[in-house]
Structure 1
Amino acid sequence: MRQTGFVRWVRAHGRGCYVFVGVLVWMTGLVWAAAGGGTATALIGAALSALAAVTVGAASRNGASSGGAAPATASETQRPLEVREAEPDRKPVLWRVRTGVVDAPGQLAEVAAALAALGADIRTVQVHPTTEGAVDEILLHAPSGVRRRDLLRAVRVAGGTSVRVARAEVHELDDIPTRALSVATGLVTGRTELRRGLAVLLGEVAVDWCEPNVRIQEDQHTIAVPAPGGGMFRVHRSNGEFTPAEQARAQRLADLAARSWERTPAHADVIGTRSGRELPTRVVDRSDYAHLLAFYRACSPASRHRRHRAGPPDQDEILRLLTPGVGRALAVFDGDDIIAWGNLVYEGEQGDVALLVRDDWQRRGIGTALARLLVDHAERVGLSAVSARTQVDDSPTAATLRAAGFILHRVPEPGEWHWTHNASEHAI
Structure 2
Amino acid sequence: MLWRVRTTLVDRPGILAEIALACGRAEVNILALQVFPTSPRVTDELVVSAPTGWTDVMVAQLFEAAGGSDVSATRVSDASVADATTRYLRGVHEVLEEERDIASVLHELLETEPPDVADYAGHDVMVLNRRSGSELRISRAVPFTEVERARAQALVSLVGDAGADVPLIVPSNRDAVPLLRVAGLTDIEAVSAMHERCSIDTLYERYQVPLKMPMTTRMARRLVVPDHGTALVVQVGTDVVGHGVLELIDETWTFQLIVEDAWQRRGLGTRLMRLAASHAKDAGAARLTFVTAGSNDRLLRAVGRAGFVARVERHDGNVHITVPLREVRSIAATGSG
TM-score range, shorter chain: 0.3 to 0.5
Higher relative contact order (CA 8 A, sep 6+): 2
More helix by share: 1
TM-score, length-normalised on structure 2?
Answer: 0.46
